Amino acid sequence: MVFQKIKDLREDNDLTQQDIASELNISQRAYSHYENGTRNLPVEVLIQLSEFYNVSTDYILGLSSKK
């Protein structure tokens, strides 16, 4: 589940939702929707998150266990 992966990545890096939202230039509320699974994660945000965390998009999407 995408939302669980991005939440785990954020928490593993001791970051707040606001920290990530600021990095992505979006509101904390918008990021919260992605993390809670109430909105689909746009491809652009997926790519930004994979670059920020230095993991593959496949890892975030749950298609690979290899970061």
pLDDT of residue 67: 84
CA distance 62 to 30: 21
Mean pLDDT of 4-12: 96
What is the per-residue pLDDT across 20-62, written as a single tens digit (0 to 9) for each? 999 999 999 999 999 999 999 999 999 999 999 999 999 999 9
Domain 2-61 has CATH 2.40.128.50: no
Q: Over 90: is that where the pLDDT of 1 sits? A: no
- Mean pLDDT of the chain, nearest integer: 95
pTM of the model: 0.91
DSSP assignment of 31-64 equals HHHHHHTSSPPPHHHHHHHHHHHT--HHHHHTS-
- Dihedral, CA of residue 27, residue 35, residue 7 and residue 3, to nearest 10: -150
